[in-house]
Every structure is written in structure tokens, then in C-alpha cells.
Amino acid sequence: MISVEPTAAQSSTLDLQLREESERIGAEAHALVARLFPYCRSLTGDGVRETLQALRTVIPLEVHEVPTGTRAYDWVVPNEWNVRDAYVLDSCGQRVIDFRAHTLHVVGNSAQIDRRTSREELLAHVFTDPAHPDWIPYRHLYYRDGWGFCMRHRDLGQLDEPDYRVVIDSTLQKGSLTYGELVVRGTQSGMFLVSTHTCHPSLCNDNLSGIATTALIAREWIRHPRRHGARFVFAPATLGPLVWLSRNEPILPQIRAGIVVANVGDQGGPTYYRSRQDTAPVDRTIAHVFRHAASGNASIRPFAPVGYDQRQYCSPGFNLPIGCLQRTPNGEYPQYHSSGDNLDFVTAAALGDSWRLLSLALHVLDADATFINLFPKGEPRLGPHGLHAIAESLGLFWILNLSDGNHSLLDIAERSGLPFWRLLEGARRLEEAGLLQRQSGAGVPQKDRF
Amino acid sequence: MISVEPTAAQSSTLDLQLREESERIGAEAHALVARLFPYCRSLTGDGVRETLQALRTVIPLEVHEVPTGTRAYDWVVPNEWNVRDAYVLDSCGQRVIDFRAHTLHVVGNSAQIDRRTSREELLAHVFTDPAHPDWIPYRHLYYRDGWGFCMRHRDLGQLDEPDYRVVIDSTLQKGSLTYGELVVRGTQSGMFLVSTHTCHPSLCNDNLSGIATTALIAREWIRHPRRHGARFVFAPATLGPLVWLSRNEPILPQIRAGIVVANVGDQGGPTYYRSRQDTAPVDRTIAHVFRHAASGNASIRPFAPVGYDQRQYCSPGFNLPIGCLQRTPNGEYPQYHSSGDNLDFVTAAALGDSWRLLSLALHVLDADATFINLFPKGEPRLGPHGLHAIAESLGLFWILNLSDGNHSLLDIAERSGLPFWRLLEGARRLEEAGLLQRQSGAGVPQKDRF
Amino acid sequence: MISVEPTAAQSSTLDLQLREESERIGAEAHALVARLFPYCRSLTGDGVRETLQALRTVIPLEVHEVPTGTRAYDWVVPNEWNVRDAYVLDSCGQRVIDFRAHTLHVVGNSAQIDRRTSREELLAHVFTDPAHPDWIPYRHLYYRDGWGFCMRHRDLGQLDEPDYRVVIDSTLQKGSLTYGELVVRGTQSGMFLVSTHTCHPSLCNDNLSGIATTALIAREWIRHPRRHGARFVFAPATLGPLVWLSRNEPILPQIRAGIVVANVGDQGGPTYYRSRQDTAPVDRTIAHVFRHAASGNASIRPFAPVGYDQRQYCSPGFNLPIGCLQRTPNGEYPQYHSSGDNLDFVTAAALGDSWRLLSLALHVLDADATFINLFPKGEPRLGPHGLHAIAESLGLFWILNLSDGNHSLLDIAERSGLPFWRLLEGARRLEEAGLLQRQSGAGVPQKDRF
């Protein structure tokens, strides 16, 4: 009986219900972004640890430490980088560049330094963005040596003294890469993966928006368990997923769908990059959700080996059915990778809307199932079951017509043009009336089982 | 030799020939509609019997009576309803509503009644359509109890007396469901089904148009027998086809194509609803006929489990390749299910045009065959056979190029963009010249037969 | 190692390199057209022999003579036709029509004649084109008997004398059909076919353009041998390919791709007619080359059994993957089959551009291969190999992502939207870095080999 499914009872109003919740959740997500904003995240280091620790107030995240030197395919966990302070002092002892004012002022992974430099040498290590003179750009030196500072282009003129004292109080030494994971068991086989990167310092859309949204999705999954299990991964970009993959190869075949979450807090319309498989259930589901539930301009883009960690999940050795949800994609908004990507740039409404769409997609993926029409010859009479009045709105005739064992509810939703959540409620009503039966072994036509 | 086929000799001019005949046939169809108009058809009863009896002047229809209580899948044949008279008398004994003036005045399946009612009680049983005050609406009470009258909204004000005598002289008792069927044998295996509903009272487009057009198609099939057999079914909607299906399951696998005919007398362009199979030969054929032979705006719509009896034929337990031909579809013209759907609303020209398109489609379905090019290496010389001048107009090079055993004439018609009937004539000419050979077992590549 | 492939070293700049060469080659092609222009080519005869002999200064063409009476499927090699002179004399002994002024003045295959005719009889054998009064039309009497002259419509008024002496000094007797073929061996199995017709007299676009372009393509294939072999066929239309096919049936299965070349010297955009197979590698390759390398409006048309010798190659008994490259197709420019199709109508630039597109297409067909990513789990690090900077421009991540044994470079080019020649260079760089391995047995996934 579909009514034993945890969320099935509300399924017909699911879309509306999520719309209502999204306002509250959006505000909560924005507050979470604000709380995590000050930490100086990087590929490794305490900033990531502090971030994951803070998330543990929201979800019971398990934190993993992977030692420097650990191999992950073609990659190796590097030395851990931590920075306590970083600044440039003028002749009066004033900090003309100050890490304490903004984490972006120090180039990520900068080596320790404390000495006087000429103005020329300093400028050779200073990055600005003349096109956006009010914003501090974001730079790092991953897998390279060196040091550097970033600053607003319009402040560059203030560096008019002949020499400066440059201090970066950082360490780059054996330690570990830190990532967080939450594992939620399901009641049936198969699980979903939601993955977001954690290596960007005080930047909001890229990617505190993804961290906060993923955490709040995870919390719902715990509160309202679904049929499928789920894993929520918070890890530094590229290397993090590779480490996770290398440690989890045995469970990869269980992954039915996954979504990489990034840049989901700006006010642009939602964007989805398809998985390498192109027409995997996750790809079809997001397209369905965008069609029936997105407000504003939603767009679907083909897979490409660019962007975020779907690159790793979709590499040919894994080829997992994992796409990427964003709003305005990386590199397509001017604030990208600069201090313009701040707490004003991301909004509670956008965060809530992203949470809603992601929730809805995961719900569809979780609830999709194949049913069998028990009265396949002709249409059964609906009147005696009191179903006549709701037949059209819940797509009952569509469900009956296509429930031949070869069409799941998502298939029926796509062919009929009706939203999945209405068909799900319709299937529940038909099942209660004894006209429809859930196929044992979801997605596997019964006749193929012997 | 293709020339032994009954209609092949005229095939090149088939389209023109049908255009000429359609005028005469259209007038005949309209006269038949007029003749059948007065009978009070319903799900069961004498109105259907009288209709089928009248059709026997056109075709040797076999009439079947299926007793009350007979099961057909989830359905049961109900009591038979007959109405002799029905009226509402005012205090002067005048009939203010009178079944003899129009069969639509009585609600279908109304129970017997003869008593005085208050004006209020009467009005609670009277249906009008304020949006179309000049038309009597059509209502019935199938599978429910009760009684009622329908009238023009503009006449409602005349019911100004405090009470009325209400008389419905009807019976609802054990009897039978009546349907008609004509079976025409073919010279090879496989048959077609043409089905139309018979349960609407004095309404012309829905569905005397379908009844008349189907009868005249059937007559042609008898006069000019084709390769395939055909069955023409005249039965009340929903229950009729279900009864027919339940009694004919063994022969269903022989059905190669079928068309439900409804609303084919109005002046809108032709509309086709695809079968559930979506790309069955009948679906491709109608699309081809519309493309090459429809005058005006023709449209093709996807399958949906709504509308007429293709719902039953295409239910998953049967999934027959049966679509639905209409002009303006049910519910999309204001006269639908009202007295506005009268003898002026349907025209001889539209009926003739529907007959022509349906004839052409059935002809294509009947004549489609796969041929083998006997000179497959290079193009054979056409000059010595006197075929050079007609090569282009009859698509001879297309036929030769694609007649490799994997393409039927319809396949070739679709790929070349040429009308089927020209290719059919081309194939006949090539066969006469000894360049082409009909494959034994139409549609089955010879090489697959062993 | 991809670097052992003859042309791989230049592959990344191949498009640019061909653009540069095309100017010089175009001028050479135009000079070759001019040199071949005066010969009176026909289905058979010395004009074809002289043409092939002249081509032997460019490529070591083998010339084949096929005796009159030889069968080729439904066809037979006819008597050989040669014309030494042809003219019409007026009463003053002046040549009012003179074959020596233009080969088009005599109707092809005209029988010998030398007698006086009345003006009326002469006019019954004279062809003009009133729509283009300045051009001599092109006519022939293949497979028919008779004689005739062609002239400018505006000169018709000059034939004002009552009678004329008509002389055609021709022979039509046992001889042979002459065609040329160049066979170039490859280093692996599989070969390409390039075919062009040779039967048109002094006409430039149709088809000296094809003859000259094909000869210069063939010369490059000898100078820079490729992996695949190639055959270049110069033969009279229809009958020539049929004779060639009838003598080469055993090698036909080796033909991987082929192109019929015609009308490639006018200034219209390039046009390609797909092969009967529709999506053969040659069809996909030309579409790819047009998309990424055509200047101006390129168009792709579906296969149709009309036009040039792809009709024979694509007949169902062969069904070879052979399409047709033209610029403005036959019959779509007013100069077609008239003296307007002269040395001014074809340009060096257009000939060079056609040579370039054809070269590029054959290069893609020759070089396409399937590689295996040796680091399929996650993306390998490109930085240590110095490949980071070129990763995007050479599509390295696309190559790595899709090189799973199921995608050739052309597949990857189509999905990524990147030009094949950049991916080819990318594959070479990745192979050098040890990240990629050419699959043994090009196009055959290794896992399927046992």
C-alpha cells in the first residue's frame, strides 16, 4: 500500500507544502551562511574543520580526516595549510592589507613569510581586479608554492611607500584533508548522493549557499526518512570527491542518482547541468521539476566536463548518474570569486527556492515506482469507488492506461504532461480502491523477474 | 502481379477519384443523418434498434442483443431504457416541455414518473445552458437513478405557474444492449476495425456523422473488396466496445489497424488522435494522408486516455493500434452536446471529405506492401520499358532504391515525400516491367521467413 | 603513439594549413580546368582519353578500356563515338555553326551526316535555349539514334537561307568505354572512394571542377600517405561507375566512405547530399567539417536517388556509404548544361575551397580513432604534464571523459562541439603524456575483440 510510505499522505499537496516551507527554510539557510561566512576555508585546514563543526548543530555530520600523503587515484593529499594572520605594514605600522578584515586578502595556500619587501616586490605578489575595483578577488596557489595578497583595485594607489613589511603567519605541513559525510539509511536498496564543496573562504554563493542548502536538505531526510538511503558529502572541490570515491568504491553501484550543489543563493533562475548519462532518472526528474515547479526562467544544460565535482563523479571510470544544480552558473555573474559574492548577494528567497526544487526532485526520485493496473482490459468503473470527481485532476485514466509494468510514474508524468506529485496521489487513491498494485521490485517489470 | 489487386488499376488516380466521389457520398451521408435524426438513441433501447434497422438499408448489418446482467470486464449490461413519451403539463393542459418536439427534452435514462410537482421541485430537475440560451442541452443519468428534463434557457421564464404535472412514460427493466456489426472477409490474413458510437439521441455531429460515414465506408468495402478483412462496429459508447471486446478476444490479434469515428460532419479541419502505440501503421498512415490529401488545416494529436472508444481499445490489456478520427473534437465546438448540433451544423461537404480521408487511409493500410527490386545493383535502364517519362512523377527511382525488402511502400512514401498512391502505381508499373516483385507475405521480409 | 601517424604532427593546425594551401591549389585547379576545357568529352571516345592522358601529368592514373558490348548489370557498353568535325555551311561556304568554335555545337553521340537539308529540316535538329539566348545549350543522344546541333538562341535568325549543307564527321562503332583509376594503398585495412564523372564536353563546373579537384586530392594522398587506402575514379556518369562496380565487387566491403565530386567550382556555398545510409561516418564527417570549417552558407541535404553517381553506389545491391559534394547543385544555377558554364563561371577560390573541405573531410575520416583513458577514475592531474594551459583549447577533459572505448574522436567532437582537428592534437598530447592509449583495432572497442 502506498499509504505506508512516509510522505505519501501529503504527496498531492507536496508542491504547495514545500512552497510554504521554503520561506522559513530560506531564512534559516541565510542565517547559516552568515554564521559560516567568517571561517577561512581552504583545500585543507581549520577553516574547513570549523565549518563542519558548525554544521553539526544542524545535522549529525561525521567528520573524516585523511592524512597528508594519502593517494586518491592520480592525486595525493597535500600538506595542510593554516593561516593565523596575514598583513602588510606601512612605515607607520598600519596594516594596509589585513587578513583580519577579510579572508580573501591572503592568497590561498600562501607560504609563511615575515620580511621587508620593496614596493615593487610586493606589487608583484598583489592581485586586484581592475574591472571590479571595489571587490577583492579570490586567488589561491593550490599545488604550487609562493605567497600573495589580494586587494581592491581602488586601494592600490595607497601602496605608495618604497617598502613594506610583509607578514603571513601560515603553516603548510603534514596534517590532513577534512571532509564531512552524513549517511542516512533507507528502507529499500539504492541511495542518493548530494555533494557540495567546502574549500572556498568567505564567499557566499560559491559555495556557502551549497553547504547550507545541502545541510537543510539532509536534515529533512533525517526527519522524514524516505525509501532510499542518502549520503550527503561536504568536501573540498576535486580532491574531496576523489578521496571520497576512493574510499567508497564498493557502494558506488548503489547510487541511483546524485546532485552536486553549488551557487544556489543568487537571484538568477535555476540551472541544471545534466549528468554524463544525459537521460538518467536524475536528469529527467530535474527537467520535470523545472517544468512544473520552477518560478522564473529555469534552464537545462548538457553535460560538460567543466564546472564542479560532477566532473569527478562522471569520469568514465565511475560514470555515475550525477548532475549539478546551480542558479547562475560559476563564472556567469560578475561577483563570482570576489568579495562581491557576499551576504547581500545571496538571498533567503533564492536559498529557499533552491531548497524547494532540490527537495522536490529528491522526493520524485525517491517516490517513483511502477504500478500494475489490475483491471487492464478496458477502463474500470471509477464511480463505485468515488473516484470519478478526482479522475482528471489526479490523472487516474493516464495511470490506469500506462500502468502495464513498463511505465513508472515518472514515465507517465512525462507522457501525460501532468506533475508527478498529482499522479503519485492518484496512484495512492487507485491502490486504496484495489484497482492498482505496486510492482514488487520497483522499476523491475514483474514479468522479467523469472 | 499487383494488377490482380482489386483497386490497383485505379490507384494512381485514387486520390482524384475519391475527391470526385466524395461529393455524391457526402450528400448521401447527410440524407442518412437526416433519416436517423428523430430516433431517441440511448445506451440501450429501441432508438438504437431503429437506427441499426435503418442502416440495414445501406449495409447488411448483423444486430446483436446482449442481455441485461451480462458482464464485460468491470462493467455489467444495465436494464434497458425505453421512453414512449415525456412532457410537462401546465394548468391549461398545454405541454410546456414536450419530448415529441425534441428527444433532448428528456434526460437520458430517466425513471418513469407521472405526478404533480411544485414549480420548485420541477426546476430542480430541469437543465438549461445559460451560455447558449437557444439550445437544449443533452444530459443523461447513466448508472444513476432519477429523472429530469432539458430545455432552452430562454424558455425557462415560461415556467411561471406554481405547479405542474410531470409525465415520463419510460421503462427501465431487463432487456438487452443492442449493437451492430458488419464483418467483411479479406483475401489475406489481418483485418481492420472501424468503430462508431450509437448512444446519442438527436445529435448530428456527435454522432450521426460517425454512424453515416462508417456505414458508407463499409458499403464500399463490400462493393470493392480489399485484401484485408474489416469489421465495422456500431455500438453505444464505452459499454458497447467493452461488450464487443469481451466477445471477440480470440480475433483481436488479427487487428492490424483501426479507427474510431466521431464528430466528422462539422466544417472544421480533420483531427486525428494517435493510438497508444503512437507510431502504429494507422498513425503513420493518417499522418501521411493528412499531409498529402487534406484540404484545409489538419491536425494530429498525441494519444490521451480521453475522448471516445479508443480509450477502451487502447487500454493496456488490449493496446490495439486504434486511433480516432474527428473534425472539430468533442467539447471544442459550442454546439457540442446540445440541440445546436443539428442538421444545419453538419454539412454534406464535410461528411464527404471525412469519408474521403477515411477511405484513402484504409486504402493505404490495405495496399501497403513490400517489394523487391530485381535489379538491385545500380539502376536498371527504364528507357527500354517505356518508363522514363513517368519515372519522376511515380517515384520509380525511389521505389527501386528502397525496395530492398526492408521498406514497405509507406516507408518509401515517408522517406521520399511522395504520396503513397503515386508510388503504388509506380510499383505496379515496375512490376509489369519485370523490375520489381511483390514480397510474399506482405510486410514480412522474405529472408526472415525461415 | 599517435605521433607516428604521417600527418598527426600538423593536425592541430590542419585547418589553418589547408586554408593557406587552398589558394595555391585553387589556382592550380583552375589552370587544370582551362587545360582540359577544349577536349570534346562524351560517354566514350577520344575526348575522354585525352582528358585522362592530361591528368597523368598530375597523378599516375591507370587508364582502363572496356570493350563495346561488355555488360555491366542491366547496362551494356555502347559503340564508341568520336567526332572530328561538324558544321553547317551556308550558300557562301561559311560555317554558320562550327564545332571547332565550341564542342557544345554538336549534339553528343550524333550520327555521321553530310548532305544538303532544307532550312526546315535543319531547324528540326537545332536546339537553342530562348531563356538564355547568349548560351549554347548542351544536348546529347545517348542510347538513341539521330543527329543535331546546338546554338545560341540569338543567332537563330541568321539561319535565313532556304537550304544548308550539314556535315557531322563522326563515327559510332565498336570501340571501348574509357575510365581512369588511381589506387593508393594504406597502412591499415579499409579504403575510401572518390569518384567524379568525365563525360561532359567543354563545361567547367559540370564537371571539369570535379575532375581537377579530385586529381589534386589524389596527388596529396600520394604525397602524404594516410592510414587508409583510397581509390580515385574518373569515369563517364552512370555507365562508368556501373562498369567500375561490376569489375570491383570483391573489394567493395573494404569501402569505409566515399564522395562523389561534382559542380565544385562555382561561387555558391558547399552542398552535401547524404548517403543512403544517412548517418554513415562520411555523412557525419561532412556535417562536422561544414559546421566548423565552411566559410559562407553550407547546406546538407538528405539522400535522394537523383543527381550524380551516388545513385549507383547507393543502389540497394551495394548501399555503399557514399555521398555527394557539390557547391550549387546540378540544375540550380542558370549556366548549368550550357556554354555559360565556362572558365569565368568557375573560380580558383571556389575550387580551392572545395579542395580544402574535401581534404579536411578525408583527413577526419582517415584519422578518426578510439582511445582509452588510462586514468578513468576521476580526472588525472594535467599540471605535472604541462598540459594545463592547453586543456581547454584542445578539449583534453572532453577526450579524457569520453575515451571509455565507446566513443571515437569524431563522437567526442560531435558531443563537445569542438573541431575534430583540435581533439586529434589533444589526443596526441595526452598520448605523449601517457594518459591515453590508442585502441588497437581502430573503431573496435577492445573489450569486444575476444
In this prediction, residues A21-44 reach a mean pLDDT of 97
Nearest Cα residue in chain A from C373: A316
| One-character DSSP codes across B331-343 | TSSTTTTBTTSST
Amino acid at C120: E
d(CA B255, CA B252): 5
Q: Which residues contact B194 (CB under 8 A, 6 or more apart)?
A: B214, B217, B218, B230, B231, B232, B233, B258, B259, B261, B358, B362
pLDDT at residue B158 tops 80: yes
DSSP-derived 3-state class of residue A371: strand
Average pLDDT over residues A30-35: 98
- Kindly determine whether residue A397 and residue B306, on different chains, have CB atoms separated by under 8 Å: yes
pLDDT at C441 over 70: no
C-alpha to C-alpha distance for B329 and B442, rounded to whole angstroms:
34
Q: What is the pLDDT of residues C213-271, one digit of tens each?
A: 999 999 999 998 899 999 999 999 999 999 999 999 999 999 999 999 999 999 999 99
Q: Does the pLDDT of residue B43 top 90, yes or no? A: yes
Inter-residue contact B255 to B306 (CB < 8 Å): no
Q: Does A314 touch chain C (CB under 8 A)?
A: yes
Mean pLDDT on B370-383: 97
Tell me the pLDDT tens digit for each residue of B412-422.
999 999 999 99
pLDDT at C89 over 90: yes
Residue contact B305–A379, C-beta within 8 A = yes
Do A152 and A136 meet the contact criterion of CB atoms below 8 Å apart?
yes
Cell numbers standing for residue C330:
546540378
Q: Please report the DSSP string for C249-301 in residue order.
A: GGGGGGEEEEEEE-S-SSSSPPEEEPPTTSSSHHHHHHHHHHHHH--S--EEE
Which residue from C269, C366, C255, C245 is spatially nearest to C325, judged by alpha carbons? C269
Residues of C in contact with B381 (CB under 8 A): 74-75, 143
**Closest residue on chain A to B73 (Cα):** A377
Q: Across all residues in chain A, what is the average pLDDT?
A: 94
Neighbour tally for C332: CB within 10 Å? 13
Q: For Cα atoms A370, A373, A379, give the angle at the middle one, nearest 5 degrees.
A: 140
Q: In what order do the strands lie in the sheet with C163-173?
A: C95-98, C80-89, C163-173, C113-118
Q: Say what the pLDDT of residue B440 is.
A: 61
Pairing of strands B191-197, B229-235: parallel
Residue holding cell 454512424? B211
What is the per-residue pLDDT for A295?
A: 87
Instruction: Please answer yes or no on whether C376 and A317 come within 8 Å at the CB atom.
Output: yes
Q: Cβ contacts (< 8 Å) between C238 and chain B: which residues?
A: 379
Q: Mind giving me the DSSP string for B280-308?
A: SHHHHHHHHHHHHH--S--EEE---S-SS
**Are A316 and C402 in contact, with CB atoms under 8 Å apart?**
yes
Predicted pLDDT of residue A144: 85
pLDDT bucket at C296, cuts 50 / 70 / 90: confident
d(CA B335, CA B224): 36
Q: Which of B381, B398, B402 has the CB atom closest to C74's CB atom?
A: B381
B441 pLDDT more than 60 = no
CA dihedral B369, B372, B378, B383 (to 10 degrees): -70
pLDDT of residue C314: 98
Q: How far apart are CA B422 and CA B404, in angstroms?
A: 19
Q: Give the cell for residue B423.
A: 508510388
In Å, how far is C278's CA from the nearest CA of chain B?
11
- Most A CBs within 10 A among C371, C372, C374, C377, hence the mutation to make, goes to C377
User: Considering CB atoms only, which of B381, B401, B416 is closest to C316?
Assistant: B401
Task: Confirm or reject contact between C406 and chain A (CB < 8 A).
Answer: no
Q: Model confidence at B9, in pLDDT bands (50, 70, 90)?
A: very low
Predicted pLDDT of residue C12: 53
Residue A428 near residue A3 (C-beta atoms within 8 A): yes
- Chain-wide mean pLDDT for chain B? 94
Task: Give CA A423 to chain center in angstroms.
Answer: 27
When pLDDT is cut at 50, 70 and 90, the band that residue C14 belongs to is confident
Is residue A223's pLDDT more than 50?
Answer: yes
Measured in angstroms, the CA of A254 and the nearest CA of chain C are apart by 17
Q: Does A115 touch chain B (CB under 8 A)?
A: no
Q: Which of the other chains make 3 or more beta carbon contacts under 8 angstroms with chain B?
A: A, C
Residue type, C408: S
Helix, strand, or coil here: B314?
coil
pLDDT score of C447: 35
Q: Look up residue C30 and give its three cell numbers.
A: 583552375
Residue count (chain A) = 450
Say how far apart CA B346 and CA B31 lie, in whole Å: 11
Selecting from B375, B377, B397 the residue whose C-beta is nearest the C-beta of C305 gives B397
- CA-based nearest residue in chain A for residue B318: A377
Quote the CA–CA distance of B316 and A370 in Å, as a whole number: 14
Rounded to 5°, the CA angle A422-A426-A432 comes to: 150
Q: Which burial class, exposed, middle or buried, applies to B24 when counting CB atoms under 10 A from its CB (0-12, 13-18, 19+)?
A: exposed
Residues paired with residue B326 on neighbouring β-strands, in sequence order: B271
Exposure string over C356-380, b if 16+ CB within 10 A, otherwise e: bbbbbbbbbbbbbbbbbbbbbbbbb
CA distances from B286 to A116, B50, B272, B325, B351 (A): 86, 33, 7, 9, 17
SS3 of chain B: helix, strand, coil, percent, to 5:
35, 25, 40
Which residues in chain A touch residue B73, judged by CB atoms under 8 angstroms apart? 375, 377-378, 380
Q: Residue A113: beta bridge partners?
A: A168
Distance to chain A for C449, nearest Cα, Å:
20
Q: Which of B375, B377, B381, B418 to mutate to test the interface with C (most CBs of C within 10 A)?
A: B377
C295 falls in which pLDDT band (50, 70, 90)?
confident
Q: Least CB-CB distance to B245: which of A373, A378, A397?
A: A378
Indicate which of C371, C379, C387, C415 best probes the interface with A, i.e. most A CBs within 10 Å of its own CB: C379
Mean pLDDT of B109-114: 97
Question: How high is the pLDDT of residue C51?
Answer: 98
Which pLDDT does position C440 carry in this prediction? 61
B246 pLDDT exceeds 50?
yes
Q: Kindly report the number of other CB atoms within 10 A of residue B144's CB atom.
A: 8
Helices (H) and strands (E) in chain B, counts: 11, 19
Taking the CA atoms of B183, B187, B193 and B197 in sequence, report the sign of the dihedral they define. negative
Mean pLDDT to the nearest integer, B86-97: 97
> Would strands B322-326 and B271-273 be described as parallel, antiparallel, or unpaired?
antiparallel
Q: Nearest CB to B377: which of C276, C305, C315?
A: C315
Look at residue B216 and tell me whether its pLDDT is greater than 50: yes
A306 touches chain C (CB under 8 A): yes
Model ipTM over 0.90 = yes
Q: What is the mean pLDDT of residues A193-207?
A: 97
- Give the one of B376, B381, B416 whose C-beta lies nearest to C316's C-beta: B376
- Cβ-contact B258, B313 below 8 angstroms: yes
State whether C397 and A305 contact (CB < 8 Å): yes
Q: What is the pLDDT of residue A444?
A: 37
Round to whole Å and give the CA distance between C63 and C52: 7
Set of chain C residues whose Cβ sits within 8 Å of the Cβ of B383: 143
Residue C4 predicted with pLDDT over 60: no
Query: What is the number of residues in chain C?
Result: 450
| Residues C355 and C26: beta-carbon distance below 8 Å | yes
In total, the C-beta contacts within 8 angstroms joining chain A to chain B are 56
Percent of chain A with pLDDT over 90: 92
Q: Delineate the domains of chain B, giving CATH numbers in brackets.
A: 14-77+176-367 (3.40.630.10), 81-173 (3.50.30.90), 370-448 (1.10.10.10)
| Residue B285, C-beta contacts closer than 8 angstroms, at least 6 positions apart | B257, B361, B364, B365, B368, B410
Percent of chain B with pLDDT over 90: 92
Task: Count, in order, helices (H) and strands (E) of chain C.
Answer: 11, 19
Angle at which helices B209-223 and B46-55 pack, to 10 degrees? Answer: 30
C437–A contact, CB cutoff 8 A: no
Report the C-alpha gap between B272 and B295 in whole angstroms. Answer: 14
Question: The C-alpha cell of C295 is what?
Answer: 566559410
pLDDT band at B411 (very low <50, low <70, confident <90, very high): very high
- Whether the CB-CB separation of C422 and C15 falls below 8 Å is answered with no
Region C378-407 average pLDDT: 96
pLDDT at A442 over 90: no
> Is B437 an interface residue toward C (CB < 8 Å)?
no
The H or E element spanning position A244 is helix A239-247
Task: Please check the confidence at residue B5 and state whether its pLDDT lies above 80.
Answer: no
DSSP conformational letter for A256: E
Question: Which chains reach chain C with 3 or more Cβ–Cβ distances below 8 angstroms?
Answer: A, B
Q: Is residue B382 scored above 50 in pLDDT? A: yes
Q: Is the pLDDT of residue C401 over 70?
A: yes
CA gap B344, B133 in Å, rounded: 18
C-alpha distance from residue B139 to each of A244, B43, B46, B109, B403 (Å):
67, 12, 19, 9, 55
Which has the closest alpha carbon to A382: A432, A438, A423?
A: A432
Residue of B nearest to A392 (CA): B306
Shortest Cα distance, chain A CAs vs residue B425, angstroms: 39
C311 → closest Cβ in B373, B379, B402: B379
Contacts of B317 in chain A (CB under 8 A): 373, 375-378
Residues A422-434 have a mean pLDDT of 97
| Contacts with C378 from chain A: Cβ below 8 Å | 72-75, 241-242, 245, 312, 315, 317-318
Q: How far is CA A213 from CA A37, A331, A348, in A?
A: 14, 20, 11
Which residue in the set B378, B397, B404 is minimally distant from C73, CB to CB?
B378
Q: What is the pLDDT of residue C3?
A: 27
CB contact under 8 A, C75 and B378: yes
Amino acid at B363: H
Distance between CA atoms of residues B35 and B55, nearest Å: 10
Residue C379 has its nearest CB partner, among A143, A304, A315, at A315
